[in-house]
Structure 1
Amino acid sequence: MKFRKASLALRATIAIFSFLVIQTAAQAQDKPNVVIMMVDNLGWGEIGTYGGGLLRGAETPVLDALAEEGTKLLNFNVENQCTPSRSALMTGRHPIRSGTTRVVWGVLYGMVSWEVTMAELFSDAGYATGMFGKWHLGDVPGRFPTDQGFDEWYGVANTTDESWYREQLQYDPEVGVQPFVQEAVKGETPTTVAPYTVEKRRLIDSEVNERAIDFIERQANADKPFFAFIPYTQPHLPTLPHPDFEQITGNGHYADVLAEIDHRAGEILDTLDELGLRDDTIVIWTSDNGPEEARGWHGTAGFWRGQYFTALEGSMRTSFLVRWPGMIPAGRVSNEIVHITDLLPTLASIAGYEVPSDRIIDGIDQLDFFTGKQETSNREGFPIYVGDDIFAYKWRNWKVHFWQLDNMFSAAQKLNVPNVHNLLSDPKELYPDRTGETTWVLPPILKRVVAHQATLLQEPPIRLGTPDPYTPPE
């Protein structure tokens, strides 16, 4: 009798376990896949749907179609340099909190392991996570992508101009940086694939796509939801196309690269279609910051003024396309403010992961806005940092500059009286109000600046160069 009771109990346990396994599998299948494609230093005005395309020497039919299939944001805002933008995306936090406010060379940088990344959250929610491309958030053990939540990674750890070092004047291989293309899986030290040379620079984005497509296909075959982060290297200088795209437009290297950028997006989108994943996948396509300033490689911000490394709109606003068939409205265009930190909490509502509650998260859940349940964004503004200083604050259609910095090569000037710009009437930020007719804007903006600064006392920022292990002060 005791044996029969034990047997019944065992069968009941097995039945419950089987039910839970089936339920977990069903829930996993219900989770939408997420693909984020991020190009490097592409201005707001480059692709056709934002007024570029043919005007920049190359049509962009794939991305123009993607804009029609989903929602296009005219007021998506990032940080003003590569490292800060990627940190903000990964953590949902302003980079001032993470010690990732600027691009640096030759020193310890990147996110401490205490930071919780989007990749870690996706992984905790049962997603396969893969990153393919440029990281720029740390290049030492503990700070590679596979130390920060990604199951696998293929790409470069730092900036793409490193590929050019070997060919520069009086380069000394004894002391000069020798960059490599690397690959890794979670829990293992990255291995070297090949030197990152100018020749490899031309090939890297095609290789990134090959790895990303292989990852997507493997997860589809395993019926496992996935998060694929694909941060391309183009059009960061040196802006040189893949050999297959050399002279394809007849309009120079930049136009050739623009055609390649469009093609790479098409390869990923075609893969999703071929695997029957279009309706089950959220696709985001964007850039990490505004265009290059360096002559010969420079891009354009189109309607706006300025390049990256500044607080101008041309630095902060980038193109942003998002598609989720049946969930996100097709053909919708919005000028509502969204910030790159918003993606982490927004995707939490979709993927089912928990947003960290033990630290300040600056991102705001924008799911209802993205899905069209509301016409307005849940965000009215945000502080704009250049390095460790607030250079400006953007609020509604207003922009207040506390510092003047017209380009990355000039010296910043602290303003005695802040410059107030109405971005609707002065989109290029050329004509600050000198009449006093808009000074009403200063109190509500300064109130928000002070409130933000108070949070830095509440949770002291991590300093650039902080080593691991890091423990926040009590």
Structure 2
Amino acid sequence: MKTVDMKFYTSLLMLVVLIGIAANIPLSVAAQAKPNILFVLVDNLGYGELGCYGGGITRGAATPRIDQLASEGMRFTNMNSEPQCTPSRSAIMTGRFAIRSGTYAVPFGGVADGLTQWEVTIAESLSASGYKTAYFGKWHLGSNNGRLPNDQGFDEWYGIPRTTDEAMWPSDPNFSTSYMPVEKIMEGRKGEQSKALQTYDLDQRRIIDAEITNRSIAAMEKNVKANHPFFVFAALTQCHIPALPNPAFAGKTGNGDWADMLTEMDYNVGRMLDAIDRLNIRKETIVIFLSDNGPEYVQPWDGWAGPWKGQYFTAWEGGIRVPFMIRWPGNIPSNKVTDEIVHNVDLFPTLAGITGAVVPNDRPIDGINMKAFFLGQTTKSGRDGFPIWVGDRLQAVKWKHFKAHFYHQETMISEPEKWALPHLFDLYTNPREDETKLLFSSWLIGPMMKMIGAFEASTKRYPLIPMGTPDPYTPPKSGNSQ
């Protein structure tokens, strides 16, 4: 009897000890498997705009909060994107080059725009993994019910379905709704149809980023209170044309609308970061700050790509190389700067790798899981290059610090001109891609064509989805073969 009692009390004592240990595990350790994610995507912010990338006060406005975020985590000098708004957002959401998804260019009406429901988004994957998901801001991946954020994995959303220049339409004396419907600010919830709230005009353009920030903070507060891991995607509309500041920031810098807008952007990011600290979830939250593509071309709101040539809608480095930083205290190294190549298609598989979410295996995924690189377990990224499309035109390819252009296109409104031979550039010695300083190392075409060949081979097994493809989309049988 005493033996039985001793075993019982021994087992009971072990249970008490284990409970005591579990009770004292810090929340940051317990939450490692499913960290919160705040993803801040800004619109058309050039490489050279922020202080930590050589801008800030040289652009008329310091950016202390974003610069501090960069110092608290990892800052990338070689993050690459698709060169237009819709393609880059598609790549982020799916981990696939936009040419695969029929989202390779900004849509201009008359077609079924956006992602087909067959595509699997990062929000769908994280939602299936137990995350609460929210999207606030500019979407640009579908204008109608069936293709809005609440149809693509987000529990809730608020924002504009398309883009910001449409805010100028109502004030144009030649505009009439008999020609084109005005863009509406919308909101919706998963399982329901989204509803229009009000017209997106110039007055709303000035204040929408404040509302995006407010709603992003409220979503974080709600989910922390409910003890849910969250994925909050704050897609700010600045600095897209027209880059008009909130009235509270108009005239604040004395350096014009653009500098006032940059100050506003920094303030809004700071508010979201302050909310994370107030909620005491800094160590449990991954914060990402990213621009969707290179800077504006249209004056007087044109931006600056720093040392690089070009703007969005081009394959120049200025069109594709963008600001990117990521913070996760205790996991991602702080005050780290890297020039390793990363592409925005890599974010889906990387975040899935960190959180345990699932990446689809029935289609090509162009992104690479960079978890080990982001966490400082290796100093090398898993990528050494990628092809570059402008629209549906394969315009260039980048490999290590070399680049080949197959077309010349100076700006977004220039006619592309196909070269008889690829033009080769060394980005270390010729960062401006000056055509008077071409390389004549033809061996470089070998590894570049190998990447292109691998992509083209994949399209034979998994055909590209044409732009304007309606739902429901079913891949051809060749796309389903394993």
Pair in the same fold by TM > 0.5: yes
* Equivalences for residues 58-73 of structure 1 within 5 A: 58-73=61-76
**How far has the Cα of 1:176 moved from its partner?**
2.1
Alignment partner of 1:381 is 2:392: no
Residues 434 and 73 of structure 1, relative CA distance in 2, 3 Å threshold:
closer
1:417 partnered with 2:421: yes
Q: 1:442 to 1:293 in 2, by over 3 A?
A: same
- In 1, Cα distance between equivalents of 2:326 and 2:31: 22
Give secondary structure in 2 for the equivalent of 1:193.
Answer: strand
Q: 1:110 to 1:435 in 2, by over 3 A?
A: closer
Instruction: Measure, in 2, the Cα distance between the counterparts of 1:423 and 1:434.
Output: 11
Q: For residue 163 of structure 1, what is the aligned residue in structure 2?
A: 167
Structure 2 gap segments, 5+ residues each: 1-18, 478-482
Q: d(CA) in 2 for partners of 1:224 and 1:447?
A: 44
String of CA shifts for 1:396-437, please: whole Å, max 9, x gaps: 00000011111001100001010000000000101365563x
1: CA distance between counterparts of 2:354 and 2:377? 15
TM-score normalised by L of structure 1: 0.93
- Is 1:222 matched with 2:226? yes
Equivalent pair of 1:44/1:300 in contact (CA under 8 Å):
yes
Query: Which letter does structure 1 place at the counterpart of 2:88?
Result: S
Q: Given that residues 137 and 157 in structure 1 are in contact (C-alpha distance below 8 angstroms), is that contact kept between their aligned partners in structure 2? A: yes
> In the alignment, which residue of structure 2 is the partner of 1:246?
250
CA distance, structure 2, for counterparts of residue 68 and residue 333 of structure 1: 9
2:133 aligned counterpart, secondary structure: strand
Instruction: Output the CA distance in 1 between the equivalents of 2:370 and 2:93.
Output: 16
- Pairing partner for 2:105 from 102, 114, 123: 102
How many residues matched? 452
1:442, distance to aligned residue in structure 2 (A):
1.1
Q: In the aligned structure 1, how far is the partner of 2:358 from the partner of 2:101?
A: 20
Distance 1:407-1:305 versus aligned 2 partners, 3 A rule = same
SS in 1 for 2:123: helix
Cα distance between partner residues in 2 of 1:234 and 1:53: 15
* Aligned-partner Cα distance in 2 for 1:354–1:434: 43
TM-fit CA distance, 1:37: 0.1
- The answer for the alignment partner of 2:360 in structure 1 is 356
CA contact (8 A) 2:116 2:472 kept: yes
1:315 aligns with: 319
1:203 aligned partner: 207
Alpha-carbon distance in 1 for matches of 2:69, 2:394: 35
Cα displacement (A) at 1:195: 1.1
Contact 1:29 1:224 in 2 (8 A): no
Distance 1:191 1:120 in 2: 21
Q: 1:34 aligns with which of 13, 37, 41?
A: 37
CA displacement at 1:450 relative to structure 2: 1.5
Q: 2:303 aligns with which of 299, 305, 324?
A: 299
Q: Alignment partner for residue 470 of structure 1, among 468, 473, 476?
A: 473
Report the aligned-residue RMSD.
1.7
What are the superposed Cα offsets for residues 13-50 of structure 1, whole Å, 9 maximum, x if unpaired? xxxxxx9xx9xx99778510011100000000000000
SS of 2:326's partner is: strand
- The residue number in structure 2 matching 1:15 is none
Runs of 4+ deviating beyond 3 Å: 25-30, 431-435
Are positions 1:393 and 2:397 aligned together? Answer: yes
Distance in 1, Cα, partners of 2:439 & 2:242 = 44
What one-letter code is carried by the residue in structure 1 that aligns with 2:315? A
Which amino acid letter does the alignment assign opposite residue 361 of structure 2? Answer: S
TM-superposed deviation, 1:447? 2.0
- In structure 1, the gaps of 5 or more residues are 1-18
- 1:225-262 Cα distance to aligned partner (Å, 9 max, x none): 00001110001001100000000000000000000110
One-letter code of the match for 1:245?
Answer: F
CA distance in 1, matches of 2:357, 2:31: 12
Distance 1:283 1:188 in 2: 29
Aligned to 1:343: 347
Q: 1:404 to 1:215 in 2, by over 3 A?
A: same
Identity over aligned residues, as a percent? 48
Q: Give the Cα–Cα distance (whole angstroms) in 1 for the partners of residues 287 and 293 of structure 2.
A: 19
